[in-house]
Amino acid sequence: MIRRPLRIMTALAGAAAAVTAFAVPASAAAPALNEAAGPAALAAAREHFGGSLGAAFAGSWLDTTTGALVVGTTDASGSARIRAAGAVPKVVRHNLAELKRIQSILDGKTGGLPASVAGWYVDLPTNEVVVSVVGGDPAGRAWAAAAGVPVRVDQVKSAPRPLWAVVGGQGLYFNGGACSVGFNAYDDDDHYVITAGHCTELGGTVRGVGGTIGTVARSSFPGNDYGTVRVTHSDVSTPPRVDRYGDGSDVRIEGADVVGVGGRICRSGITTHWQCGRVEALDQTVNYGNGNIVKGLTQTDACAEPGDSGGSFVSRPTSGSGTKLVQAQGMTSGGSGDCEDGGTTFFQPVKEVLNRYDLTLEKD
């Protein structure tokens, strides 16, 4: 059967214990409501104060210095009841409903919102609505002033961004090809995604399931079949995990001990997802044709198809409950056959690229 690397060559379109009563007899000492009371008791207390104080309620929060539960109220006459229930009263100007009304007005003025406005929220301890503006940008300040409601403008260093993870076996998209993520690693300065070299030879900017990851850093193919993508976007996290798709939750990489001949392994990729089998041979030389000869590959009977290239090969997951732990083995290189009739698949051992580029697999 014809052996071939498994990169998809396609044009890419883009890519409680609860508090049960707060009415405390005057002769009794109220238990202190503080951080040590636990989430369930504090949640019950908040609900109680929200109901008993009615329109005067201005929210509640924990004092970060003492740990005490502080309850805001616009009616000073309610302070004694708050103390009797074990909390600390604070008389403020705006009730919670008014603060939420101000926030909702801002929510309705997002047309023409400057990019420098990072967001807005209710600051309960200061009894204010805060608008966060990157670098104190004048346009962001002007937007806040034009809203016509009382707000405090705070300067923040940078804008928020969505966070997403690069996980082994998920898609890795190049300009002209689709492959799979192998493993995440790092050195003293940077984080990298390791995949197949016949994928990174395409070069350029590389995307993942959540957006741009970075650019190709190094590539070795033929001879070897590995390459790295340097992570350049701060919204990308690189956990030591591999996607099992419909076969269960992600597995976690805990090392790179090699599974020998006859050992059980599994692989993950975007085309055929999670497939398992056994190691059949080590240190094999494979001829992919057109002068593309790769040495040092491991042969397996775990099937794969185009698009699975670069994807994770790992030891069979541990049994039992909890997070499944695996040993990283290598990155899918190529093979013959398919996942309908079965086939042979080769992987590039990961230890070679780790040693070559002085990289360490990511850890929790």
Q: Is 273 a catalytic residue?
A: no
Enumerate residues 6+ apart whose C-beta is below 8 A from 308.
6, 180, 267, 269, 270, 271, 272, 332
> Which residues are within 8 A (CB) of 189 and not within 5 positions of it... i.e. 6 or more apart?
none
Is residue 198 annotated as part of the catalytic site, yes or no? yes
Q: CA angle, 226 as apex, 223 and 227 as ends, to 5°?
A: 125
CB 278 within 8 A of CB 265: yes
Cβ neighbors of 271 (< 8 A, separation 6 or more) are 6, 8, 180, 304, 305, 306, 307, 308
Can you spell out the DSSP letters for 292-305?
Answer: -EEEEEEEE-----
The residue annotated as part of the active site, out of 116, 309, 312, 315, is 309
Contact in structure between 85 and 48 (CB atoms under 8 Å): yes
How far is the C-alpha of 54 from the C-alpha of 29, rounded, in Å?
24
Contact 361/327 with Cβ under 8 angstroms? no
Q: What is the DSSP letter of 167?
A: -
276, 288 in Cβ contact below 8 A? no
Strands 128-134 vs 152-156: parallel, antiparallel or unpaired: parallel
Which of 60, 219, 220, 225 is the catalytic position?
225
- Given 48, 94, 191, 198, the catalytic residue: 198
CB hemisphere CA count around 249 (13 angstroms): 9
d(CA 178, CA 196): 11
Segment (H or E) for 154 = strand 152-156
Could you tell me the CA-to-CA distances from 178 to 7, 232, 256 in Å, in that order?
A: 6, 20, 26
Q: Which SS3 state, helix, strand or coil, does residue 82 take?
A: helix
Whether 317 and 304 have beta carbons less than 8 Å apart is answered as no
By annotation, the residues acting in catalysis are 198, 225, 309
